[in-house]
Structure 1
Amino acid sequence: MGPPSAPPCRIYVPWKEVLLTASLLTFWSPPTTAQLTVESRPFNVAEGKEVLLLAHNLPQNTLGFNWYKGERVDAKRLIVAYVIRTQQTTPGPAHSGRETVYSNASLLIQNVTHNDTGSYTLQAIKEDLVTEEATGRFWVYPELPKPYITSNNSNPVEDKDAVDFTCEPDIHSTTYLWWVNGQSLPVSPRLQLSNGNRTLTLLSVKRNDAGAYKCEIQNPVSANLSDPVILNVLYGPDVPTISPSNSNYRPGENLNLSCHAASNPTAQYSWFFNGTFQQSTQELFIPNITVNNSGSYMCQAHNSATGLNRTTVMMITVSGSAPGLSAVATVGIMIGVLARVALI
């Protein structure tokens, strides 16, 4: 009979350690190699400036690399090829003479133009001949010139004319802004923007629309402001007012009336007494008035630009005795006059 078999060996592992180990195995993964990327410095470039396409995380076993214009590898759009061991550079069909490649795989493009806008692909060739690609991109914008404003009417008539302001020149990928008397445009249904905000339309202009208008142009690399264009709104005259408002006078006083009406340009004034023209002045002066000066005084305001007339009428009454003479003084004067008559 053979020897008895040995009892099975059992190992007891606490269940908490089992759970911890399983958890670590679930969430742990081996480190990955950093991915090749391309960074554009800067991303928005002004025309005539330079941009650097900076390569990050170039594989250590890289034999060489190629730069292409566009988002994919295309031999017809090869800019430059570079062999690291020999530091040999070979220009491609898309090379313009403005590109410089560096041993760290970065690409410098100088004196950029609008046509340079777009994507650029870096292809790294490793020792096992496996390739890795990354794409970067940038935008080229023009240095903006000083804009200027054109207008169809710089002297509109209130409540009659509309005005179109246009900011020139028309530049692609440019933001247009408007300023009135140093402030941004107010919100109004009479103010309309069109043509990509290049055109500002004022419908049925008001006198409050008058002032200095400027346009500003912006892109990601520059901004510029126009000289002001002055909008001169012609209006009025409004109904004139006559001052002072006093309408009762005594004989011997001076009548001095002044007429005023809001108007642009300044109104021309005429005075009429009981319908008869008197004079073309803003003020009417009549010294030592009598009861015969009682009546209707009309002021007419005329705007030569709008062609409008407005009038207002004041009734003047001259009555009573002359100022400065009391009843006793009046009697004394009468007695003196009678005495002189008796002597004659």
Structure 2
Amino acid sequence: MDITLHACYVCQTNRILILIPFTGLLPKPNITVNPEVVGQGHNVTLRCEIPDREYTVFSWYKDNQSINCSAGFRCSEDSPDLHISFAEENDEGNYSCSVTNPVSNNTSDAVELKVYALLSKPNFTVNPEVVEQGHNVTLRCEIADREDTVYSWHKNNQGINCSAGIRCSEDSPDLHIPLAEVNDEGNYSCSVKNPVSNNTSDTVELKVYVRVSKPIVTVTPEVVKEGDNVTLNCNTTAGNHLTYTWYINSSEPKCGDHYECSNESSELIIKAAKPADAGNYSCTAQNRLNNETSDFTSMTVYYGPTSLTLHIPADTCPNDWIDWFKVPEAVCVHENSSLKMSCEAQSLPQSNYSWSFSNATYTGVLIEASEVEMYNFNKENDGNYTCTASNDVTGRDSSQSRYLITYRKYHNLGF
């Protein structure tokens, strides 16, 4: 039924009756919000909707307080719209509108306006910072505004199922790993989402540390000879994410051309071992939980024979004798004299020695020793005397020779 009210007015001058029509009683207005989901910095329009706007005056309220159509709000009494430019968090609240005409008024139900923040990149934290095997760990996806935020988690770029030993939910910023194990290690990230935006954290590597056991130093090869390349290994039965420090006689070696080593490697490589490399070796293995140091391992470097020296107490022959016999460095021995010859070399283990003799009529070994003693030296003893030093471990030997010649005092070559 169309209900139209009329007002009766009488003009006093001419006594004319004027009837002015007015619309009916106003129904309760309905507020609509456009867009329905409002993000921070977006423009939003609230509309106070009624069927008939003729002769209607509009007014707006936020949290039951009248709104001044300025200071960020654009509205007027003759418009059903309230405009908010660049909405911010402080624009949130319960909005209502009232409508009034000459015969009635009505007020809408309140509508809550939410202004959702544009989510920034979450900050990812791990507690405790150092995670030990068998201990609980919590990963937190931190953002400034958690309202209406949905969380999701990823490990090695794969979505995490919030079960199977991992406790998490869409409405919680925390991911809990009870009794962490090494297989929980990986690259973790989290994503956040609200009705107007989403963002993802940087990736954080989770390491689960195992306590380090006492290391043992091994040497390869077991028998080290001069010139060998040697590998020492710092072996542990437990521990991960380890760094290593090496010691030779309690001092750190200088890693470089001779010693090949680094904190990240369990190996110390010695290139072309020298006798000076012999000593007591130890290592320390460590991670962020603890460190352990090995016992000393003694390494011996076998070498030689080198620097073989002959000791022959006799005179150097005159030059004309050397020219005659055509033997450089010949040694002249007094006829019928006694002679004690010896030789020595640098070697580890100590060298084995032998003396051999050769001339035009005989070749053979004189003695298996470092010394040889001769009596009544005569022309039959003239010849080449050789000392040989040998090392059973290195498999090496070294020889030196001298040619001995008998001579009489006042003897000349023409006699």
TM-score by length of 2: 0.44
Deviation at 1:155, TM superposition (A): 1.8
The equivalent of 1:264 in structure 2 is 348
The equivalent of 2:401 in structure 1 is 313
Stretches of structure 2 lacking an aligned partner (at least 5 in a row): 1-119, 168-172, 193-198, 316-332, 410-415
1:114 to 169, 174, 182: 182
The equivalent of 2:369 in structure 1 is 281
Deviation at 1:260, TM superposition (A): 1.2
Deviation at 1:223, TM superposition (A): 2.5
Query: Aligned-residue CA RMSD in angstroms?
Result: 5.4
Deviation at 1:261, TM superposition (A): 0.9
Task: Provide, for residues 69-121 of structure 1, a one-character-per-residue CA deviation record: whole Å limited to 9, x for no partner.
Answer: 659xxx9755xxxxxxxxxxxxxx3666xx9xxxxx99997643334446587
Is 2:263 aligned against 1:175? no
Cα separation, 1, equivalents of 2:160 and 2:309 = 83
1:247 to 308, 314, 321: 314
Call closer, same or farther: CA 1:263–1:120 in 2, change over 3 Å.
Answer: same
The equivalent of 1:303 in structure 2 is 391
2:209 to 141, 148, 170: 141
Stretches of structure 1 lacking an aligned partner (at least 5 in a row): 1-34, 79-92, 100-104, 124-132, 321-344
Task: Provide, for residues 144-166 of structure 1, a one-character-per-residue CA deviation record: whole Å limited to 9, x for no partner.
Answer: 2233455552224434x544444
Q: Give the AA of the match of 1:247.
A: A
Task: Provide, for residues 267-325 of structure 1, a one-character-per-residue CA deviation record: whole Å limited to 9, x for no partner.
Answer: 10112355553222223345xx44439755432112223333312234487866xxxxx
Counterparts of residues 101-250 of structure 1 (less than 5 Å): 111-117=179-185, 139-159=207-227, 161-168=228-235, 173-181=241-249, 182-188=251-257, 191-192=259-260, 197-243=265-311, 246-248=313-315
Q: Give the AA of the match of 1:233.
A: V
Contact 2:260 2:269 in 1 (8 A): yes
Higher mean displacement: 218-227 or 134-143: 134-143
Task: Provide, for residues 182-208 of structure 1, a one-character-per-residue CA deviation record: whole Å limited to 9, x for no partner.
Answer: 4324421x55469x6344444444444
Q: Which has the higher contact order (CA 8 A, sep 6+)?
A: 1
Counterparts of residues 327-342 of structure 1 (less than 5 Å): none
2:129 to 23, 26, 43: 43
Return the index of the structure with the highest Cα Rg. 2
TM-score by length of 1: 0.51
Contact 2:210 2:240 in 1 (8 A): no
Task: Provide, for residues 227-246 of structure 1, a one-character-per-residue CA deviation record: whole Å limited to 9, x for no partner.
Answer: 45544434321241123x64
Contact 1:193 1:200 in 2 (8 A): yes
Cα separation, 1, equivalents of 2:310 and 2:226 = 24
Higher strand share: 2
Deviation at 1:66, TM superposition (A): 10
Cα separation, 2, equivalents of 1:298 and 1:176 = 51
